[in-house]
Amino acid sequence: MTCMKLKLNPIHKDLALRFECSVATVSNIVITWLHVMHVCLYKKFLENQIPTRHKNKTCMPSSFSPFMNCKMVIDCTEIYTEVPSQLDKQKYTYSSYKHRNTLKGLVGVAPNGTITFLSNLYVGNTSDKNIGKHCGVLTSFLAGDLILADKGFLIQDLLPPGVLLNIPPFLMKAQFSPEEARQTVTIARARIHVERAIRRIKEYKILQLIPQNLRPYSSMIFQVCGFLTTLNYPLIKEVEDRYFCE
């Protein structure tokens, strides 16, 4: 029942009819098993289980050949939520980028496309930099590690000593130089995998719109759905034969 709710997001009355129980029972079961899955799956197998850059090298795709010391590719994603009834919450969840009320989370993937970090969800007007600062992801990096990110992650001043950040160059003149254009393409070829991972997470239809009654559990929903995508077929076929290397 809970997996159906996460993947297909049928209304509770539909689930009640299918499983021959009351709507209240459906709500109790879904919330209870959401907590169980969060503890037994996400917290046990994904939280604080970020592989080292040396382990990443055992299954590094060719698109990361210029970034062999990359430990993680990070990006933020926004998830629509119902408009809150309180005016202050309407203000804080309103995203100027999406022009809707959203919740926002950070996703980190290893170079082989495996999700290795999922933050809690923040209100939609939170910047990428502030999420990176407060979600705890930066504490997992050591000197020599490289982070690939989008232009919104201006976090150089927040990084631990010796940790490197690689983001696409900013357009400071009429057009990119040939070297800047090559650099942009090279980073984009590596960064695309985090966007593909995010797309997989959002295939769980419950994340298409978080209703008000589920907003207190939105971070758990996001993290459980993210973990479940790690059970899918490898995101990058090139590294399939090395996917389970020790």
Q: Are residues 95 and 198 in the same domain?
A: yes
How would you classify residue 79: left for phi > 0, otherwise alpha for psi between -120 and 50, otherwise beta? beta
User: How far is residue 112's CA from residue 114's CA, in Å, rounded to a whole number?
Assistant: 6
Structural domains counted in the chain: 2
From 28, 45, 62, the end of a domain falls on: 45
Give the domain extent around 64: 53-242
Considering all CA atoms of the chain, what is the largest pairwise distance in Å, rounded to the nearest integer? 65
Of 9, 28, 45, at which residue does a domain stop?
Answer: 45
The answer on 36 and 156 residing in a single domain is: no
For helices 178-201 and 218-229, give the axis angle rounded to 10 degrees.
Answer: 100
Per-residue pLDDT of the chain (246 residues; tens, 9 = 90+): 999 999 999 999 999 999 999 999 999 999 999 999 999 999 999 998 899 999 998 888 988 999 999 999 999 999 999 999 889 889 999 998 899 999 999 999 999 999 999 999 999 999 999 999 999 999 999 999 999 998 889 899 999 999 999 988 766 666 777 877 788 788 888 899 999 999 999 999 999 999 999 999 999 999 999 999 999 888 887 766 665 554
In sequence order, the β-bridge partners of residue 75 are 107
H/E segment holding residue 3 = helix 2-8
103 and 188 together in one domain: yes
Tell me the helix, strand and coil percentages in the chain, rounded to 5.
Answer: 50, 15, 35
Residue-level pLDDT at 243: 57
Instruction: Let me know the angle formed at the C-alpha of 166 by 162 and 171, rounded to the nearest 5 degrees.
Output: 135
Q: Could you tell me whether strands 122-123 and 100-109 are parallel, antiparallel, or unpaired per DSSP bridges? A: antiparallel
Interatomic CA distance for residues 44 and 33, integer angstroms: 15
Output the pLDDT for position 180: 74
Q: Which of 145, 173, 180 is nearest to 159 (CA)?
A: 145
Structure confidence at residue 78 (pLDDT): 97
Same domain, 191 and 86: yes
The predicted pLDDT at position 246 comes to: 47
CATH number of the structural domain spanning residue 175: 3.30.420
**79/139 same-domain check:** yes
Q: Can you give the pTM of this predicted structure?
A: 0.92
Identify whether residues 25 and 111 lie together within a single domain. no
Rounded Cα distance, 30 and 4, in Å: 10
